[in-house]
Amino acid sequence: MTTYVYDFEHGDKDQKDLLGGKGANLAEMTKLGLPVPPGFTITTEACRAYLEQGQAPAELGVQVTKELRLLEQKMGRRLGNADDPLLVSVRSGAKFSMPGMMETVLNIGLNDDSVEGLGRIGGDERFAWDSYRRLIQMFGATVMHIESRRFADALDAKKDQHGAKTDPELGVEALRELVGEYKQIVRDETGRDFPQWPREQLDMAIIAVFKSWNTERARLYRRRERIPHDLGTAVNVCTMVFGNMGDTSGTGVAFTRDPSTGHSGHYGDYLINAQGEDVVAGIRNTMSLADMGTHHPEPFKQLEQNLHLLETHYRDLCDVEFTVERGKLWMLQTRVGKRTANAAFRIASQLVDEQLITMNEALERVTGEQLVQLMFPQLDPDGDRTLLARGMAASPGAAVGTIVFDSAAAVAKAAEGEQVLLVRRETNPDDLSGMIASVGVLTARGGKTSHAAVVARGMGRTCVCGAEELQIDANAKTLVVGDQTFGEGDWLSIDGATGEVFDGRLEVVPSPVMRYLEHGIERGVEGLDDETTELVKAVDRLLRHADKVRRLDVRTNADTAEDSRRARQLGAQGIGLCRTEHMFLGDRRVLIERMILATSDEDKQSALDALLPLQRQDFVEMLEAMDGLPMTVRLLDPPLHEFLPDLTELSVKVAVAEAKAETDPHDVELLAAVRKQHESNPMLGLRGVRLGLTVKGLFALQVRALAEAAAIRRQAGGDPRPEVMVPLVGSINELDLIRDEAERIIAEVAEQQGVQLQMPIGTMIELPRAALTAERIAESADFFSFGTNDLTQTTWGFSRDDVEAAFFTNYMDKGVFTVSPFETIDRTGVGRLVQLGAEGGRAGNPRIHLGVCGEHGGDPASIHFFDSVGLDYVSCSPFRVPVARLEAGRATV
Ligand code: PEP
Ligand code: MG
């Protein structure tokens, strides 16, 4: 029999797959002897079974009954008992945290009878009725799908009627009336009564949590965070404890260190006389943890001890949710806390200094994507700025945009190419699409742990929250601060590292980490404050360690001397791919066009002659920038449509001209040629080696330009290391033909120039046939570079030009894949071909050098895969080089 329900006393932190993150950590805290309210976890397996079969597994009900009994015995109370009710919370908790994306229902067990009982035992009738109205409100909205505004409106009306400004000012009578009105809303909206039977409430809430796994917003969040859709969520049923039992109670969240700066010391938000949802929803402004110490010293002291225990036990920053019920502290949740990129690097380095973790472990605590965030630009500190308000520094970076007041507007304007800043009083999880579409998020309410902050940090979106001076009216679409009013379309700038909000459109400047990456540690820390210096040093320390332990070399994809220089500064160990066709975009495109269209040998030769000096000069400069390091030059691989005028546009132009009797003979000639060359699928057409073997002299010209450039550099005393790479090879015969010609030319140039030229010749592996016949091809190749862009296109049979926009979102929604295979390597399909190609390559030529130069070379997950199949290097765009260095290091620890 499958066990679907686990008591908190049975389980531990390593069982996240089964118990979800929250359940596993509740079990761990219970094991550590921390004060966790008793309860049990329903497994993710039960959720998956429900989602597959549309109904809960038969055994689940029985197992819940059994666990509930045990819980009731332990507590000496019965769920919803009229005299002395046990109340429980029902909370979602997936393997990976999805803050606010799924459902929670508190106070399960209250009904018309037990509310009286609760009032009696708690000695506080008001509190009991407030809890009951909260249950109906939450249950109504999340389980019965009633628009939450219905309840909010009724609450507002009740406050008006009783002249109350805040919720706590509503007395018992008002709350009794409100409960009656809420029940009527339930009846009106659903045609049934609010369920009075506690067990029915529990069962309905459990199913609602299961279902919430698949809501639109949860799916969107998972797509974004690359969480698989088939994991399901666990459900935690936990004895209720109350932070809203008067002034000796409260609730809060805490971190063992500051999650946005990494500062050691405890940090958090606390609200007296409140329930947990009030803190994360950001509805009321909170007090700091230090202030909690003055108000509730005893539970504060215990909390500090628990935080310390958790941090040393998990050996990492932890965050916790806790409640104080009449002076007694309860730990409701913990997990290894989310953090900003800045904090991740600093904390990892600090924990090494504190001897809690090793350098290898420190490397596991940071990611390439976090490094990317640190390379973000910041607001220019020396520019003119008018400070409008100050909020909390919730997620770093600079965001400058025109303001919008709701998600729909954010999405619409971003689609038009506008840079928008989402401004909200407070955010709720439904704002996710707007947050994705915006460059940054600004809220007037809520702390660093509000949804807005947590979600923005996770996405790497700049966020300032809790800027209380701002009065935001989403209906009127106005933001008022002091005597100034801003409306939709006005520019604002926010600094997510300081929490500042500025008027207008400020300049942005590069980040200090970028300065360090480009100029080294000494210049990188010049003039920085202590905190930033600590950050830069932490990044340096971890990158150095990654460099020390990584097996993969990191090269760059670059086509200009400037990119080559920059990449080298960022740590590139050579060029893995110089796409020569990129050297002919822009003004030089006509030269390629002339060469492709030439009909006579003379025309062709003169086109080639014009290309040679340009190529040579480009190569000389790049070889100089990469002196002493390998530089792989790929022979021309232009999909023809990128280099010829568009057939339709040209046809229209000629037709219009004909109608006006103004025909240009050149256009007519061009149109005839373009028609002749037109291909239905140019990505699979006359490209790469096929073009080289078709257009006589083309590859010869490029090899000559490269060899001559190398000779020039050698004569100048340099150490050029060019490599010739042949694209889109499917057969060894293609490679042999090019290789013979290339070797002849290289020998010729060496002799003419009187220099020694070592120029390895290799091929890209970007067709399945090449991967499958790699052993043969390797006999003629000094190196392979996997072109995983084309290999993905040709393995899947997707056109890389067309499919992403056409149906990938749908494919991701349906779970065909969780991430575009053009972004992260499809290990089982395309990856398998890479593996076969690498094995074949080594079998055919034991000295072969193996790399990858598709976009995947800069993608963290793919880098780990390339490491695992034993490639020698990855090559990626210049700005990804530090990321690749870090991830290549992480792949080995
Ligand atoms: C590739 O196909 O992966 C590759 C690097 O070549 P390109 O993207 O230029 O086709
Ligand atoms: Mg390619």
Minimum CA distance residue for ligand 1 atom 10: 790
Segment 33-55 mean pLDDT: 97
pLDDT at 678 over 90: no
Q: List, for residues 396-406, the tens digit of each pLDDT value.
A: 789 999 999 99
* Helical packing angle, 341-353 and 530-549, nearest 10°: 80
Contacts with 156 (C-beta within 8 Å, 6 or more apart), sequence order: none
Ligand 1 centre from 580 Cα, in Å? Answer: 12
User: 44-53, 411-420, 582-591: which has the minimum mean pLDDT?
Assistant: 582-591
Confidence at residue 817, expressed as pLDDT on a 0 to 100 scale: 86
426 Cβ closer than 6 Å to some ligand 1 atom? no
Which is the closest atom of ligand 1 to the Cα of 577?
5
User: 74-78, 110-114, 696-700, 861-865: which has the minimum mean pLDDT?
Assistant: 696-700
Q: How confident is the model at residue 137 (pLDDT cuts 50, 70, 90)?
A: very high
Give me the DSSP letters along 725-764. EE-S--SHHHHHHHHHHHHHHHHHHHHHHT------EEEE
Q: How confident is the model at residue 833 (pLDDT cuts 50, 70, 90)?
A: very high
Question: 443: helix, coil or strand?
Answer: strand
Distance between CA atoms of 515 and 882, rounded to whole angstroms? 13
- Per cent of the chain over pLDDT 70 is 97
Q: List, for residues 182-205, the tens digit of each pLDDT value.
A: 999 999 999 999 999 999 999 999
Same CATH fold, 376-509 and 5-241?
no
Closest CA to 245 of 131, 326, 321, 331: 326
User: 89-103, 279-293, 318-332, 527-541: which has the minimum mean pLDDT?
Assistant: 279-293
Q: How confident is the model at residue 177 (pLDDT cuts 50, 70, 90)?
A: very high
673 Cβ closer than 6 Å to some ligand 1 atom? no
Fold of 5-241: Dna Ligase; domain 1 (3.30.1490)
Q: What ligand has the least distance to the C-alpha of 854? A: 1
Minimum CA distance residue for ligand 1 atom 1: 787
Minimum CA distance residue for ligand 1 atom 9: 579
Segment 858-883 mean pLDDT: 95
List the catalytic residue out of 451, 545, 641, 849. Answer: 451
* Helical packing angle, 125-142 and 172-190, nearest 10°: 20
Which is the closest atom of ligand 1 to the Cα of 789?
3
Two structure tokens written together for 859: 């993608």
Ligand 2 centre from 742 Cα, in Å? Answer: 20
Minimum CA distance residue for ligand 1 atom 4: 787
Ligand 2 centre from 277 Cα, in Å? Answer: 52
Burial of 527: CB neighbours in 10 Å, binned 0-12, 13-18, 19+: exposed
Ligand 2 centre from 583 Cα, in Å? Answer: 16
Fold of 550-638+687-890: TIM Barrel (3.20.20)
Q: Which residue has the higher pLDDT, 431 or 764?
A: 764
Cβ neighbour number for residue 380 with a 10 Å cutoff = 15
Amino acid identity, residue 252? Answer: G
Closest CA to 428 of 253, 252, 217: 217
Which is the closest atom of ligand 1 to the Cα of 785?
5
User: E strands of 425-572, at which residues?
Assistant: 440-443, 462-465, 471-473, 478-481, 484-487, 491-495, 500-503, 508-509, 553-557
Contact between 573 and 555 under an 8 Å Cβ cutoff? The reply is: yes
User: 26-30, 54-58, 660-664, 669-673: which has the minimum mean pLDDT?
Assistant: 669-673
Two structure tokens written together for 6: 């686990």
Confidence at residue 692, expressed as pLDDT on a 0 to 100 scale: 92
Contact between 286 and 446 under an 8 Å Cβ cutoff? The reply is: no
318 Cβ closer than 6 Å to some ligand 1 atom? no
Cβ neighbour number for residue 165 with a 10 Å cutoff = 8
Average pLDDT value over all residues in the chain: 91
pLDDT at 123 over 90: no
Ligand 1 centre from 670 Cα, in Å? Answer: 28
Kind plus residue range of the DSSP H or E element containing 419: none
Question: 137: helix, coil or strand?
Answer: helix
Beta pairing class for 553-557 and 462-465? unpaired
Distance between CA atoms of 705 and 712, rounded to whole angstroms? 10
Q: List, for residues 755-798, the tens digit of each pLDDT value.
A: 999 999 999 999 999 999 999 999 999 999 999 999 999 999 98
Which is the closest atom of ligand 1 to the Cα of 793?
2
Centroid of chain to Cα 284? 29
Burial of 820: CB neighbours in 10 Å, binned 0-12, 13-18, 19+: middle
Contacts with 110 (C-beta within 8 Å, 6 or more apart), sequence order: 80, 85, 87, 118, 128, 131, 132, 135
pLDDT at 445 over 90: no
Two structure tokens written together for 226: 């690359």
Probe ligand 1: pick from 555, 577, 582, 871, max atoms within 8 Å of CB?
577
Confidence at residue 622, expressed as pLDDT on a 0 to 100 scale: 98
Confidence at residue 260, expressed as pLDDT on a 0 to 100 scale: 76
List the catalytic residue out of 463, 465, 578, 853. Answer: 853
Give the architecture (CATH level 2) of 376-509. 3-Layer(bba) Sandwich (3.50)
Confidence at residue 279, expressed as pLDDT on a 0 to 100 scale: 67
Two structure tokens written together for 201: 């409430």
Ligand 1 centre from 688 Cα, in Å? Answer: 10
Residue 104's region, left for phi above 0, alpha for psi from -120 to 50, else beta, is: beta
Q: How confident is the model at residue 454 (pLDDT cuts 50, 70, 90)?
A: low
User: E strands of 166-308, at which residues?
Assistant: 233-239, 250-257, 264-272, 287-288
Confidence at residue 379, expressed as pLDDT on a 0 to 100 scale: 87
Contacts with 754 (C-beta within 8 Å, 6 or more apart), sequence order: none
User: 404-418, 577-591, 712-726: which has the minimum mean pLDDT?
Assistant: 577-591
Q: List, for residues 688-710, the tens digit of each pLDDT value.
A: 999 999 888 889 999 999 999 99
Beta pairing class for 88-94 and 233-239? antiparallel
Confidence at residue 373, expressed as pLDDT on a 0 to 100 scale: 81
Segment 873-880 mean pLDDT: 91
Q: Which residue has the higher pLDDT, 101 or 722?
A: 722
Beta pairing class for 39-42 and 233-239? antiparallel
Q: What share of the chain is helix, strand, coil (3-state, %, to 5)?
A: 50, 15, 30
Confidence at residue 669, expressed as pLDDT on a 0 to 100 scale: 80
Probe ligand 1: pick from 637, 642, 866, max atoms within 8 Å of CB?
637
Cα-trace Rg, the chain: 32
419 Cβ closer than 6 Å to some ligand 1 atom? no
Q: List, for residues 242-285, the tens digit of each pLDDT value.
A: 998 889 999 999 999 988 777 778 888 899 988 877 766 656 67
Which is the closest atom of ligand 1 to the Cα of 854?
3
pLDDT at 412 over 80: yes
Would you list the domain boundaries of the chain?
5-241, 376-509, 512-542, 550-638+687-890
Contacts with 60 (C-beta within 8 Å, 6 or more apart), sequence order: 4, 5, 42, 46
User: Which DSSP state fits 635?
Assistant: P
pLDDT at 747 over 70: yes
Ligand 2 centre from 791 Cα, in Å? Answer: 8
Which residues have their alpha-adjacent CB atom under 5 A from ion ligand 2? 766, 787, 790
**Angle 599-601-603 (CA atoms, 0-180°, nearest 5)?**
65
Distance between CA atoms of 573 and 532, rounded to whole angstroms? 28
Confidence at residue 805, expressed as pLDDT on a 0 to 100 scale: 66
Predicted complex ipTM: 0.99
pLDDT at 6 over 80: yes
**Angle 138-144-149 (CA atoms, 0-180°, nearest 5)?**
55
Q: List, for residues 570-618, the tens digit of each pLDDT value.
A: 999 999 999 998 787 666 778 877 877 777 888 888 888 888 999 999 9
853 Cβ closer than 6 Å to some ligand 1 atom? yes
> Catalytic: 451?
yes
Model's pTM, two decimal places? 0.81
Confidence at residue 283, expressed as pLDDT on a 0 to 100 scale: 61
Q: What are phi and psi of 35, to 5 degrees?
A: -75, 90
